[in-house]
Chains A and B, each alone.
Chain A
Amino acid sequence: MNKAPTRASTIDDLFASARTSEPYIHNQGFSTHVLAALPERAGLPFWADALITLLFTLLGCALAFAFFPSEKFAELVPTTIVISPMSLLTLTGLISLACGSAYWASETNRI
């Protein structure tokens, strides 16, 4: 049988009763849904990324300047270049292939 509480205490009694009988809502895949919907955390900020690239480029240039035998290399450079149309076409193809590969690699974050 139900009891009729006094009006003054009704609200507090009702909520006290609700507090003590609060059901545990089972996960049932809720956490999985939340985790699946989480966004990818952004990597380094743009300026940090650019700064790191610049620093390593400068470092590479400094190392190359220090260790590369530039005098000997200069001697190896031919003064006259004779190139046939077929060679030129092959060279153009290779350069295009290299450029295409570099573009693909950068766009797909393979490097």
Chain B
Amino acid sequence: MHHTDQVLIDSVVKEDSHLAFAELVKRYQSPLRYSLRQLTGWNEALADDLAQETFIKAYKALPGYQGKAKFSSWLYRIAYNEMISHFRVARNRELSGGIIEEQGSASVDSRDRPSSEDHSQQLHRDLAQAMTQLKDNQRMALHLHLHRECTQQEISDIMNIPLGTVKTLITRGKETLRVLLADWKLGES
């Protein structure tokens, strides 16, 4: 039987049902882990760690979830804060792992790929790599806008920034990506 998110959330809050929370995790783990891979330069281990931490924080904060925003938006907000916090700590400690190492990489060119490589899989990785050139907030805004198709108001709510800032982040981020991905060729579908 398929329960709505709200039914599962109520079950977690009122009965401390791990079964209900497990259902929520199963429902959102794939999109969240994919998004975090996109946001961490396709660093799978880091993305999974951040996703795990996001779900744990969500579990702790669930009694305070008021249902004003979609559960997925609420989850993305936690994930975004986790990501920001992680990179801030990493930068402070000058631990240049994952995305920080990749920030100096050149533009992405699909012509260098072997022809046998899965084109669409490469697209995901290249997009993630190109996104590493953007600032954290720009990357998140662009991902939510272009990949998750969130409205600018939703992005503003998730990232807790003014609507005008969201517009600026998206416009400038797109310009940067246009340059970085200029050589990328879409395969014939």
Contact = CB atoms under 8 A, between A and B. Distances in A.
Interface in B82-130: 110, 120-121, 123-124, 127
Interface residues of B, dominant DSSP: helix
Interface residues of B, number: 39
A84 to B, nearest CB: 56
B16 A41 contact: yes
A25 B186 contact: no
A7 B146 contact: no
Contacts of B174: 11
B18 interface: yes
Interface in A73-91: none
A65 interface: no
A10 B181 contact: yes
Contacts of B18: 35, 38
A10 B107 CA distance: 14
A7 B178 contact: yes
B56 A34 contact: yes
Interface in A1-56: 1-5, 7, 10-15, 17-19, 21-27, 30-31, 33-35, 37-39, 41
B34 A14 contact: no
Given A3-B188, A23-B34, A35-B18, A30 B120 contact: no
10 contacts: A1-B188, A2-B187, A2-B188, A3-B188, A5-B186, A12-B146, A21-B120, A23-B121, A23-B124, A27-B30
Interface of A: 1-5, 7, 10-15, 17-19, 21-27, 30-31, 33-35, 37-39, 41
